[in-house]
Structure 1
C-alpha cells in the first residue's frame, strides 16, 4: 500500500536527521521525500499500516506530518 504524507520537512539536513529513524522503524518499506513539492511529500510503500508510527516519529522530532488520502 502507498501512504502519502504532507510534512513540514523542507530541507535536506532535516531529511538526513530523520532518515536513520525511518529506516529503523520501517526497514522493509520503500520511501522517498519530494522536497520540491509545495507540501514536502513523503511517500511510503509498505505492506504494514505505518501511519501512526510515522506520525509519532515526526512529532518526536517536532515536524508536522499529515496523511493525505
Structure 2
C-alpha cells in the first residue's frame, strides 16, 4: 500500500463531491481528511502510486493541492 498525504483547499462541504470522484478510482483503498488541520489534509491509501493523478484531478476541479513529503 502507498500512503499519499496532501495539503489542500478542501472544505467540509466538498466531502460528498470528493467521494463521488474517489469512488470511481479503483486504485484507492481508502481515503480521509483532517479539515481541522491548518493544511486541510487529504490522506489517500492506494494500491499504486496515484499522487500525480490525484493532484491533476483535484486541480482541474479548482482545488489547490500539494503533496507533502514525509
Deviates more, 1:32-41 or 1:19-28: 19-28
The runs of 5 or more residues in structure 1 that have no matched partner are: none
The runs of 5 or more residues in structure 2 that have no matched partner are: none
CA RMSD of aligned residues (A): 1.4
Q: Distance in 2 between matches of 1:27 and 1:20?
A: 14
Question: How many residues are paired up?
Answer: 68
What TM-score comes out, normalization by structure 2 length? Answer: 0.85
Structure 1 runs of 4+ with >4 Å offset = none
SS of residue in 1 equivalent to 2:63: coil
The Cα of 1:28 is off from its aligned counterpart by: 4.2
What TM-score comes out, normalization by structure 1 length? Answer: 0.86
